Structure 1
Amino acid sequence: MEMGGELKKVLKYWMEGEITSFIKVWLSAYLSLTYCYIAAKMLRSSVARLAAFLPVVCLFIFLPLELHSVHLVGTTGFFLAWLATFKLLMLAFHQGPLSATPPLSLPRFLAVACLPIKLRRDDLYKKDTGRMQRSLLINYSVKGALFVLLLKVYEYDDRIHPKLIKAIYSCHVYLCLELILAIAAAMARGLVGAELEPQFNEPYLSTSLQDFWGRRWNLMVTRILRPTVYLPVLGWSAGVVGREWAPLPAVVSTFAVSGVMHELIFFYLGRVRPTWEISLFFLLHGFSLAAEIVVKKVVDGRWNLPAPVAKVLTVAFVLVTALWLFFPPLMRCKGDERGLAEVAAVADFIKDVVRALTFTLNP
């Protein structure tokens, strides 16, 4: 991949105030959430809360448009336009993590509102904290090393088959998400002083789509979509198709909403009209998961695939469909090249800082 031109664009963005814009966006977000925190204490009616929160919801949808960097706009769009928006809508109806008992302090409210975290009870997890942190340190150290190794692989992309490059990029995206969310969790841990639940649970070990989407991949999104989409549709559809089959429309509806939200995130990244391939990707997985549920009900445990075979088939299905529908829109807007250029720019910046410090200390 030719990254020289893209690197210059990224550096130009930063020099022209991208970091300043990032600070302004998040300052606006925290001020808005502080307003919501106060409004929630003053207003008990769900209608009044919803009316008070709607201007902030609209603001959060438009705020990411102030940014251009792939990493900054992608994470900001996910944290504000998706997570914070859905959590505020739940808070309006006295639900969700922001309606915790006892009430959250303002710092915890701000952290939980816009970061992909779920607070744990310290008294339940204190004895496992040291062991868990050592395990996480080893886990993220290995994944960080793999991430750096993949960056080196891209230097030889002219010698690698394009389809293999896309597969490598899939791994790169996963590792990038893992590391970004880990950094966000560490920042939140320092801010609110509580242990935080992991967002991924080794998704490459999934034995089914239900296992992948429900218990292993981006668990904060699962926890957000379940009370806001899945459970309401489940309750409605139970009266239409019966409780046995009610999960099917609930699953498809959840994936449809996820597809729309991913379209919004991709619009932030590329600023181009949606092609709806991403929505099709999530609808395909929604219907496939619904079919999996039907098969499990029919088989009723009488027959199961061997675990190694189930893992290979599940990961292969996710990877192939992602390469077919999910990644092409990202690559058409050169999100991959821009993202790699930004990583290279940060690496160069760090090297320059280290050189400057070394020269200062040892002239």
Structure 2
Amino acid sequence: MDMEGEFKNFIMIWIIAAATMCYCHTIGKFIPHGKARLVAIFPPILILLLLPLRLISIYLGGPTSFFLGWLSTFKLILFALGKGPLSSNPPLPLSLFLPLSLLPIKLFQTQHQPNLSKTQNSHINLTSGKLLEKTDIDNLTPDNKDVSRNTENSQITEKGQKSTINYAYVTMVFVLALLIPLYPMKEILHPKFILFLYCLYMYIGLELIFGMIALLARKVHGLELEPQFNEPYLCTSLQDFWGRRWNLMVTRILHPTIYEPVVNASSRAIGRKWASVLAIVATFTVSGLMHELVYYYIKREKRTWGTWEPSWDSMCFFLLHGVCLAIEVAFKKALKGKWQLPRLVSWPLTVAFMFYTALWLFVPALVRCHVYEKGVRELNVIAELGKDFYGLLRSLCFHD
């Protein structure tokens, strides 16, 4: 793979994406939210969907397709309707609009930010205060009492903030270094164990990517960001896993774009109490479709538009979890909190269900996309580039 050309395309894509968001920010000043703004923002949405086609690598193309092709496009749809993280009163300054529109981040409410002006501080307080006023997942799954102590303790507060680089990330890097040499041995290992290793590989990779983004945002903007993962291996229910522990930005972006409209549309027919159950299934259906789109981006071998041939494994995975989560929420509504499984029982059952369904449907879809083979090849290329760079530095130092 031509990593040099890939890096150049990567930089070009993000420059174009930033310029596109500057246009959207300007549009927001002159066109009120509604149909007119939606029409004006349609071309930027199309551009964001096309930009990831210029990348074919896993480590550059994968996150880019997820950030731009999914999250940013959904944020712009909400922005056109006057909703979501990009909409506030007063409007966000461009310095905050850009990172919020392009990256999977959510601001915490803080009293002051050291690198920003007083006016920008007021924007942060107003915006992040609004975002933290109500937890989206509590609207999605109304059992507000099922908030675990681990979730509360892991939240970043004004008194004590998590360090982006901590022992957890060091451990993940160490585990990742141990996993890579096992890949050439896959012929002698059990197929299920290989899929299990793929699960660890994916989770660690996502944690590290989001951690680097948080570190970059902290250094550039002086902002503290909410972590996207919250110890998902400690989940005690599907509601706990999908709502409070796994990729929280996706939950927050799907709630106003899919969940709320479905609830509002179906409430008159079946009542708001049970409309949420239908909305959960609809939300997971859209999530499955968007995952299929991301898989299309990352499985390509050429920087061109090709035929979309979804495998539907990922779609089935999210449909299954959507139905199971809807059943779980329905039971909790019916029981009204009078009875629930003990944590010692619910935790292993939930973790076992997550792993079994992931190994059955989710990971095989990635295997068919050749994600892991491409990832290993890219790591080898990056390692060779690192050796060449180190050799160049060493020769320059020796020459001096």
State the Cα distance separating 1:356 from its structure 2 match.
2.9
SS for the counterpart of 2:251 is helix
Aligned partner of 1:267 in structure 2 is 296
Aligned partner of 1:331 in structure 2 is 367
CA distance in 1, matches of 2:77, 2:113: 29
Indicate whether 1:306 and 2:348 are aligned.
Answer: no
CA distance in 2, matches of 1:203, 1:330: 20
CA distance in 1, matches of 2:220, 2:165: 19
CA distance in 2, matches of 1:356, 1:307: 56
Identity %: 45
CA distance in 2, matches of 1:320, 1:124: 45
Q: How does 1:248-287 map to 2 (within 5 A)?
A: 248-271=277-300, 273-287=309-323
SS for the counterpart of 1:262 is helix
Task: Give the counterpart of 1:296 among 329, 332, 340.
Answer: 332
For the 8 Å contact 1:116–1:185, the answer to whether it is kept is no
The list of structure 1 runs, each at least 4 consecutive aligned residues, that deviate by more than 6 angstroms after superposition, is 124-127
Cα 1:180–1:130 shift into 2, 3 Å: farther
Q: Greater share of helix residues, 1 or 2?
A: 1
Aligned partner of 1:90 in structure 2 is 78
State the Cα distance separating 1:158 from its structure 2 match.
3.5
Aligned partner of 2:22 in structure 1 is 34
**Further displaced range: 316-325 or 49-58:** 316-325
Q: Deviations over 1:325-347 (max 9, x none)?
A: 11222212211110122122223
State the Cα distance separating 1:166 from its structure 2 match.
0.6
TM-score by length of 2: 0.83
Read off the aligned partner of 1:235 and give its amino acid letter: N
CA distance in 1, matches of 2:91, 2:328: 40
Read off the aligned partner of 1:212 and give its amino acid letter: F
**Further displaced range: 128-137 or 202-211:** 128-137
Cα 1:287–1:194 shift into 2, 3 Å: same
Cα 1:134–1:35 shift into 2, 3 Å: closer
Indicate whether 1:245 and 2:274 are aligned.
Answer: yes
Aligned partner of 2:11 in structure 1 is 23
For the 8 Å contact 2:239–2:325, the answer to whether it is kept is yes
Structure 1: segments with no counterpart, 5+ residues: 1-9
CA distance in 2, matches of 1:124, 1:290: 41
Task: Give the counterpart of 1:48 among 13, 27, 36.
Answer: 36
State the Cα distance separating 1:135 from its structure 2 match.
7.2
CA distance in 2, matches of 1:134, 1:45: 38
CA distance in 1, matches of 2:208, 2:89: 31
CA distance in 2, matches of 1:153, 1:43: 55
Cα 1:328–1:306 shift into 2, 3 Å: same
CA distance in 2, matches of 1:53, 1:250: 26
State the Cα distance separating 1:165 from its structure 2 match.
0.9
CA distance in 2, matches of 1:149, 1:130: 36
For the 8 Å contact 1:202–1:216, the answer to whether it is kept is yes
State the Cα distance separating 1:131 from its structure 2 match.
4.2
State the Cα distance separating 1:124 from its structure 2 match.
8.2
Task: Give the counterpart of 1:138 among 167, 185, 188.
Answer: 167
Cα 1:140–1:129 shift into 2, 3 Å: farther
Indicate whether 1:176 and 2:205 are aligned.
Answer: yes
CA distance in 2, matches of 1:124, 1:252: 40
CA distance in 2, matches of 1:287, 1:346: 41
Read off the aligned partner of 1:21 and give its amino acid letter: N
State the Cα distance separating 1:100 from its structure 2 match.
2.6
State the Cα distance separating 1:189 from its structure 2 match.
2.2
Aligned partner of 1:6 in structure 2 is none
For the 8 Å contact 2:230–2:246, the answer to whether it is kept is yes
Cα 1:124–1:202 shift into 2, 3 Å: farther
SS for the counterpart of 1:97 is coil
SS for the counterpart of 1:99 is coil
CA distance in 2, matches of 1:43, 1:82: 24
State the Cα distance separating 1:114 from its structure 2 match.
1.1
For the 8 Å contact 1:107–1:191, the answer to whether it is kept is no
Structure 2: segments with no counterpart, 5+ residues: 115-155, 301-307
CA distance in 2, matches of 1:235, 1:27: 38
SS for the counterpart of 2:187 is helix
Read off the aligned partner of 1:284 and give its amino acid letter: L
